[in-house]
Copies of this chain bind each other. A is one copy, B any other.
């Protein structure tokens, strides 16, 4: 059985002092078995993940308070949507709480930036997924100058406190930065533009953001340096190869679910008595 040489929760964990602009986005850290083996492994771990998630759901339905929250960040075209579809798509939709964060609505903009995030936290027993997140409030908000530096600078500590609070309520936070190279992004944007049925995914703003690539790298570097905490560490997932990114996120989520160390809930009723009651109705 092929598998990971080094578990991605170790291999990909953001480390103090590691430079985002030095990441090889075509690399496959911890995985040397290639793409074909990856497909089989991902399917198998997907089944594990689905069972574990059903167990989490059962736990939530019987009064448990645990949950898992996957936070997905990355430049445009880095594959966040593909991860949702191909990784999260492997588990029962009933147990998933997915939220995509776009430009704040007027109502949201009138509130504290964490207001809409709190409302989107996964209920007990759920696998929550944030497609973009509160990190946009220290990324696009900073790069586009939507708020003054004095304001976004204070947010790092605020975010750490928020995530600590989330973790304290029983939710395991798994943060993933999908890292693509500037060249790969050009290629993916070009493909979107060349295929009419992909045009809906393209917005001219994507090229504008791309023109500020270095500013984004700097902003992401600060995110990694300042918000990778023991309770909610970042994982930098090289994402030029989609198969690797999806394999790695599958493993990170499955690992987080395993870490909850859940059991199937014990019946809160007398099984024998219920069987007898059932027989009486047949």
Contacts and interface: CB of A to CB of B under 8 A. Distances in A.
A114 interface: no
B265 A200 contact: yes
Given A199-B265, A264-B196, A274-B207, A89 B93 contact: yes
A138 B265 CA distance: 32
A193 B275 CA distance: 7
A267 interface: yes
Interface residues of A, number: 46
A115 interface: no
A62 B196 CA distance: 14
Contacts of A203: 269
Contact of A200 (B61, B94, B131, B271): B61
A61 B269 CA distance: 47
A87 to B, nearest CB: 10
A223 to B, nearest CB: 23
A210 interface: yes
A105 interface: no
Given A197-B264, A264-B196, A281-B186, A93 B96 contact: yes
The majority secondary structure among interface residues of chain A is helix
Nearest to A100: B94
Contacts of A93: 84-85, 88-89, 93, 96, 98, 129
A34 interface: no
Interface in A103-133: 129, 131
A274 B204 contact: yes
Contacts of A265: 199-200
Nearest to A275: B193
A126 B123 CA distance: 22
A100 B98 CA distance: 15
Interface in A202-222: 202-204, 207, 210-211
B210 A274 contact: no
A207 B277 contact: yes
14 contacts: A85-B94, A88-B93, A93-B93, A93-B98, A94-B131, A183-B282, A190-B275, A193-B274, A193-B278, A196-B267, A197-B264, A200-B264, A202-B269, A211-B281
Lowest 9 CB-CB distances: which A-B pairs, in order? A58-B200, A199-B267, A197-B264, A85-B92, A200-B265, A186-B282, A207-B277, A210-B281, A193-B275
Interface of A: 58, 61-62, 81, 84-85, 88-89, 92-94, 96, 98, 100, 129, 131, 182-183, 186, 189-190, 193-194, 196-197, 199-204, 207, 210-211, 264-267, 269, 271, 274-275, 277-278, 281-282
